[in-house]
Amino acid sequence: MSDPVRIIEMGPRDGLQNEKTPVSVEARIAFIEALVAAGLDTVEVGAFVSPKAIPQMASSDAVLRGVAHVTGAEFHVLVPNEKGYDAARAAGAKVVSVFAAASEGFSRANINCTVAESIERFKPMLARARADGVKVRGYISCVLGCPFDGDIKPTAVADLASTLWDLGCYEISLGDTIGVGTPDKAKAMLRAVAANVPAAKLAMHFHDTYGQALANLYAGLAEGVRVIDAAAGGLGGCPYAPGATGNVATEEVVYMLEGMGVTTGVDMEKLLAATNTMSGVLGKPPVSRVATALNAKKKRAAS
């Protein structure tokens, strides 16, 4: 449990793509720069998707080019198909992410195809990425529940993870997209997946809709998973799940891990500053309880 944990920062992509307030390219670049300065050296910075479908991710090419000067960091972008892959590569992408769902209902609602059809779409892109020397990260949505299909069997997640692994994804991120999971369910799912894919190659991407994300992460840490996706300030949500909140807040993950004696390499003060700046851009306070508590503490100390 004391082994270091790698945090993948999702705020600039998974967080902002569900925010109603548009964020300029300049503000997104500044946000990413601040997150890297805080010690978050792996950041997902955008998505090469249709701007009609997700206008918040428009100009992801400009964002990726705009952070090219930042050293010592790895930047990821989401790509849904070969067209997105081409655009990402033209902008200099070295790591791309593909996504599939563990449930048929979510797959049809999100990308208008079956799970099997989504995998077929990825195959030529993954083959090209391998030839181009581009790393591919695989996401699986709805691993602990689906707004359309309800409970998801761990075997379904394990089978899909195995497929993505065999196709060449270097890491599989397991997403509780609507945040309905609980620790025992998370543990059972992770054990099933780890039978097919090494635990060291898995990541946990847990949303906090029902306040269970940290408990689920703790259960996953006990299973040997050492990679966590998180979003500064708890940004985000899911358009297909009423009431779904964003990814677990990076501040809360760091606070828990550092309290356990686990090294994250993240400077909380700088992370809080990055979160507060983006909250100002969005015109609302951070969802993160740790950020709220630390801001109140600072305000009290200054008065």
Closest CA relative to residue 234, chosen from 215, 248, 244: 248
* Per-residue pLDDT tens digits for 151-180: 999 999 999 999 999 999 999 999 999 999
Mean residue pLDDT of the chain comes to 94
Q: Which residues pair with 75 in a beta bridge?
A: 43
Q: What is the pLDDT of residue 217?
A: 98
Asked if pLDDT for residue 110 goes beyond 80, the answer is: no
Q: What is the CA radius of gyration of the chain?
A: 18
For the CA atoms of 46, 52, 53, 55, the dihedral, rounded to the nearest 10 degrees, stands at: 40
With a CB cutoff of 8 Å and minimum separation 6, the contacts of 60 are 45, 46, 47, 48, 77, 91
Residue 207's SS3 state is strand
Classify residue 1: in a domain, yes or no: no
Measure the CA–CA gap between 177 and 180, rounded to whole angstroms.
8
Q: What is the mean pLDDT of residues 136-149?
A: 94
> Predicted confidence band at 240 (pLDDT cuts at 50, 70, 90)?
low
Given phi > 0 = left and psi -120 to 50 = alpha, else beta, which region is 73?
A: beta
Q: What is the pLDDT of residue 241?
A: 64
Q: Which domain holds residue 255?
A: 6-302
- Name the token pair of 274: 């990055």
Q: What separation in angstroms does the CA of 43 have from each of 7, 14, 148, 195, 245? A: 9, 11, 30, 28, 20
Q: Would you say how long the chain is, in residues?
A: 303
The secondary element (H helix, E strand) that includes residue 139 is strand 135-141
> Predicted confidence band at 243 (pLDDT cuts at 50, 70, 90)?
low
Classify residue 118: in a domain, yes or no: yes
> Predicted confidence band at 239 (pLDDT cuts at 50, 70, 90)?
low
Known catalytic residues?
Answer: 238
Classify residue 48: in a domain, yes or no: yes
Classify residue 125: in a domain, yes or no: yes
Classify residue 32: in a domain, yes or no: yes
Asked if pLDDT for residue 106 goes beyond 90, the answer is: no
Classify residue 85: in a domain, yes or no: yes
* Per-residue pLDDT tens digits for 184-219: 999 999 999 999 999 999 999 999 999 999 999 999
Among 83-92, 96-105, 132-141, the minimum mean pLDDT is found in: 96-105
Classify residue 264: in a domain, yes or no: yes
Measure the CA–CA gap between 110 and 230, rounded to whole angstroms.
21
Classify residue 281: in a domain, yes or no: yes
Q: What is the mean pLDDT of residues 255-270?
A: 97
Render 43-105 in DSSP notation, one character per residue.
EEEEE-S-TTT-GGGTTHHHHHHHTTT--S-EEEEE--SHHHHHHHHHTT-SEEEEEEESSHH
Q: Where are the alpha helices (DSSP H) in the chain?
A: 25-37, 60-66, 82-90, 104-111, 115-132, 154-167, 183-194, 213-222, 250-259, 268-282, 289-302
Q: What is the mean pLDDT of residues 128-150?
A: 95
Q: What is the pLDDT of residue 236?
A: 86
- Specify the pTM: 0.96
Among 27-36, 89-98, 176-185, 235-244, the minimum mean pLDDT is found in: 235-244
Q: What is the pLDDT of residue 242?
A: 64
Angle at Cα 287 formed by Cα 282 and Cα 293, nearest 5°? 115
The CATH number that applies at residue 23 is: 3.20.20.70
> Predicted confidence band at 262 (pLDDT cuts at 50, 70, 90)?
very high
Q: What is the pLDDT of residue 237?
A: 74
Into how many domains does the chain fold?
A: 1
Asked if pLDDT for residue 52 goes beyond 70, the answer is: yes
DSSP 8-state code for residue 114: -
